[in-house]
């Protein structure tokens, strides 16, 4: 059995931090998603709203218009489809179009109704930690102890989702790399990721091309694949199992080699 799954990122947005505008029309986004699946993505994560630091919210109708044709176009492509949204009406339309996984960067805080959709339709979901909201989250984020604080938050959101009727085995957790975190916060979370894994649910890791890799390497987002592979290998070693990345081919190779080594 493969000890990990790759979640390939398909952003249908004009303004995402690393690939904004590249796949803004549906046909280009579908072609990109199919390529990621060929390269090894078991899940494709389709998003119509950027959550990069400073991003402005997108109206639900526009977000739905962006993602639905892409999900329809990928529904027979051989991978699971995840909808990256915090809005119930977008998730509902995405599920109708073929999505079976809800990736919510607000962990059902923005729209608690998402828990009911996930429970009622038997979907899987990812609950992520974020400090504050995208517009302001990178302004001087502070924690007592970043790992303990993120862990306590994820435990609370896990309990809230279970209380709302979502079976525990449908829930995955994500420390939210880059969402209200300094370089040192991100490195500490990676270093001590095993403490998040100890909660007992699969951990999703979203380091791909993020700013902290740029700070360490001096590279622009499009040239951060090597740094991203390093973070995924470290994450695998510490027990993460789902890797949300843009550079699927590179990460698939890195994780295949790392997984074989750890298995020995």
Q: How far is the CB of 179 from ligand HH2 (least distance, A)?
A: 7
Whole-number Å distance between alpha carbons of 167 and 170: 6
Does residue number 236 form part of the binding site for ligand HH2 (CB under 6 A)? no
Residue that the structure tokens 């902290």 belong to: 212
In the set 34, 66, 181, 210, the catalytic residue is 210
Does residue number 229 form part of the binding site for ligand HH2 (CB under 6 A)? no
142 in active site: no
Whole-number Å distance between alpha carbons of 42 and 5: 6
87 in active site: no
Q: Where are the beta strands (DSSP E) in the chain?
A: 5-11, 43-47, 80-84, 101-104, 124-128, 171-174, 204-205, 242-245
Query: Total number of residues binding ligand HH2 (CB under 6 A)?
Result: 21
Q: Which residue is nearest to ligand HH2 (CB)?
A: 206
Q: How far is the CB of 65 from ligand HH2 (least distance, A)?
A: 16
**Terminal-to-terminal C-alpha distance of the chain:** 14
Whole-number Å distance between alpha carbons of 77 and 52: 28
Q: Which residues, listed in sequence order, are joined to residue 126 by a DSSP beta bridge?
A: 103, 172
Region 193-222 residues binding ligand HH2, contact defined as CB under 6 A: 204, 206
Q: Which residues, listed in sequence order, are joined to residue 45 by a DSSP beta bridge?
A: 9, 82
> Segment contacting ligand HH2 (CB under 6 A): 47-55, 146-154, 223-231, 251-259?
47-55
> Segment contacting ligand HH2 (CB under 6 A): 11-19, 28-36, 57-65, 157-165?
11-19
| Residue positions annotated with a catalytic role | 210, 244
Q: What residue ranges bind ligand HH2 (CB under 6 A)?
A: 9, 11, 13, 16-18, 47, 50-52, 84, 103, 105, 126, 128, 174, 176-177, 204, 206, 244
């Amino acid at each position: 059995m493969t000890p990990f799954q790759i979640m390939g990122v398909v952003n249908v947005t004009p303004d995402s931090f690393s690939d904004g505008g590249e796949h803004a029309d549906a046909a280009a986004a579908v072609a990109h998603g199919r390529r990621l699946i060929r390269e090894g993505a078991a899940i494709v994560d389709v998003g119509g709203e950027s959550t990069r630091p400073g991003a402005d919210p997108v109206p639900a109708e526009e977000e739905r218009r962006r993602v639905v044709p892409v999900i329809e176009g990928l529904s027979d492509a051989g991978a699971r489809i995840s909808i990256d949204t915090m809005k119930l009406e977008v998730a509902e339309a995405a599920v109708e179009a073929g999505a079976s996984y809800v990736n919510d960067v607000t962990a059902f805080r923005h729209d608690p109704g998402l828990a009911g959709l996930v429970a009622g339709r038997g979907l899987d979901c990812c609950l992520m930690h974020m400090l504050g909201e995208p517009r302001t989250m990178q302004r001087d984020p502070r924690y007592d102890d970043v790992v303990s604080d993120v862990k306590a938050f994820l435990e609370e959101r896990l309990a809230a989702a279970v209380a709302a009727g979502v079976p525990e085995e449908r829930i995955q957790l994500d420390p939210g790399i880059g969402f209200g975190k300094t370089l040192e916060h991100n490195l500490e979370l990676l270093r001590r990721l095993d403490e998040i894994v100890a909660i007992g649910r699969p951990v999703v890791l979203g380091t791909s091309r993020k700013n902290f890799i740029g700070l360490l390497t001096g590279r622009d987002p499009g040239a951060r694949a090597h740094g991203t592979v390093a973070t995924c290998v470290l994450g695998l070693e510490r027990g993460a199992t789902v890797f949300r990345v843009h550079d699927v081919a590179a990460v698939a190779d890195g994780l295949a080699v790392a997984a074989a080594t750890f298995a020995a």
